Amino acid sequence: MNRINRLSPRLANQIAAGEVVERPASVLKEMLENSLDAGARRIDIEVEQGGKKLLRVRDDGGGIHKDDLALALSRHATSKIARLEDLEAIGSLGFRGEALASIGSVSRLELSSRTADGGETGWTVRAEGQQMEASLKPCQHGVGATVEMRDLFFNTPARKKFLKTERTEFTRLDEVFKRVALSRFDVQFGLRHNQRTVHDLRPAATETDQRRRIGLVCGPGFLENSVPIEQRAAGLLLRGWISLPAFSRSQADLQYFYVNGRVVRDKIVSHAIRQAYHDVLYHGRHPAYVLFLELDPKTVDVNVHPTKHEVRFRDSRLVHDFLFRSLHRELGDIKPEARREEAPQEAPASLPEQPALPLRDAWQVREAPGAYRSDPADSPRSPDEFAEQYARLFGGGEETPPLGYAIAQLHGVYILAQNKDGLIIVDMHAAHERITYERMKQALEQERLRRQSLLVPLPLAVSAAEADCAETHRESLLALGLELERVAGEAIVVRQVPALLKDADIEQLVRDVLSDLIEFGASDRLQSRQNELLSTMACHGSVRANHRLGIHEMNALLRDMEATERSGQCNHGRPTWVWQSMADLDKLFLRGR
């Protein structure tokens, strides 16, 4: 083997650049983080050829002192931390002090700046690949800093060959821009590519302005199909916007999650969000969201990876449960009104005509064999009680309910209803399936989970880590109906299982649960399996297609939908109803032209 030699500064920087500089997009990320850390309130970005030829970022932040410019291009030089203790509560986006040095080692880099107390003259320092000696020259510059990178990888042809087409590189660079622009609504951002303005985002101080920026960055579809969220608990704050389940994506390409203002991709976070959407999202689809989690910096470690995309939470179980419960609660609270808040306010539509049948006769129709029934606990017990309930719910109020009043049934499959803003079309079976499913879950929860003792306890050979996990989480698993007992260093015995799952593959279920607990600190396997069974039962217990409903039965179904959590989707994630505004209908028939 060769003798041990100290690497040259140039080679060391180029090796370090491989961790930080992958493509123009990663360069932009580092530049933007430095600008924000410097207190910038306006950042302008100029790009040519997808960033391969030119990437220039100018800001109006505090700037860099003349005597520090050359030092800024050297490795491990930073103003953001000074002691080891500073790493325990990092509040800045960048802190490693190696980004500019890494960028300069694989490009032609120019750094210009002026501070408020540095006089009227700015100063420029340059570094060019192998020539790491920096030369300082005066320049005209406002307060702030400009970083200009040209000819990325000009001195490392092997890495340059891995760059994609101009269009692909700019798409990735644009995505970085969007992530950062969503993290700071108080900052003005501009982006130009090949002398063409792509983004011009003004500061967004009000909620209306913030929603406008959300629409510009994420698209009007997300804006129209999302609801705001704000939840606090245990020193954690979650705020932002989450998509309605009906607005799902084929890819996880519209998901922005920030921890203390830093965009991250974390498996704990992703698992909690997937779990929250599990019961309302169609198989294989992904939710969309822009979420901000704020917590004590001392409880999260951002110094996990050079790109700083990953974080490590001190109490990952707390964070996971908080995210899941917050989102699960918010999704459950989404009622039909949320889908109509952007509806045009036109003249109120007239209510449908009163029932042709007397109310006492309507009672007989509603109670006919095979007819749709409301919750038995709420069902009227006599014709007089039904008449009173119908008048109160369907005909006695001045305000039209969100899902309106039924006017017809189409081919025994869809309910057509009229509300004050337009037409509601309801998938009868899908809606009743969700209502039945939610009631069965509530009943199961209220009666507490029933456990089934195995006639012959099931022994399982597991790893030491799995056995430790089973022992540590014994009480939590017991609360879910699963009793596991450790009998050896690498062996456990299954003694009880949830009664609903007595016929399931117990061994595989236990192994999956333990795997989740080890990786995420939580598991939804038991609940998911139970819910799958309840969903199947609800499906078979719901009204079927071609089942004729009377007007009163249809209205009863609409009212139950308005009172049921997650009623916008069936158990399989499909929509249960759609809405067409009068304006939409007018467009179909070219009215007003």
pLDDT score at 537:
59
Q: Are 240 and 228 in contact (CB under 8 A)?
A: yes
CATH architecture of the domain with range 356-593? 2-Layer Sandwich (3.30)
pLDDT score at 576:
92
pLDDT score at 13:
65
Structure tokens at 377: 């606990």
Reported residue count of the chain is 593
pLDDT score at 367:
37
Q: Are 225 and 210 in contact (CB under 8 A)?
A: no
CATH of domain 9-201: 3.30.565.10
Residue from 318, 312, 316, 324 nearest 272 by CA: 324
Structure tokens at 289: 């969201």
pLDDT score at 337:
57
Structure tokens at 281: 């999202």
Task: State which residues of the chain have pLDDT below 70.
Answer: 1, 9-10, 13-19, 80-91, 94-97, 130-135, 303-309, 335-398, 447-449, 533, 536-537, 540-541, 544-545
Query: Which CATH number is 207-334's, of 3.30.230.10, 1.10.10.10, 1.10.645.10, 3.40.50.150?
Result: 3.30.230.10
pLDDT score at 383:
46
Three-state DSSP state, 110? strand
Residue from 398, 343, 335, 244 nearest 559 by CA: 335
Calculate ∠ Cα 55-57-59, nearest 5°.
175
* Burial class for 272, CB neighbours closer than 10 Å (0-12, 13-18, 19+): buried
Supply the angle between the helices 166-183 and 24-37 in degrees, to the nearest 10.
Answer: 20
pLDDT score at 505:
84
pLDDT score at 273:
94
Residue from 216, 210, 246 nearest 228 by CA: 210
How far apart (Å, rounded) are the C-alpha atoms in residues 18 and 33? Answer: 19
How far apart (Å, rounded) are the C-alpha atoms in residues 257 and 146? Answer: 28
Contacts of residue 460, Cβ cutoff 8 Å, sequence gap at least 6 = 491, 492, 493, 494, 507, 510, 511
Q: What tens digit of pLDDT does each residue of 251-265 get? A: 888 999 999 998 988
Can you give the residue ranges of every domain in the chain? Answer: 9-201, 207-334, 356-593
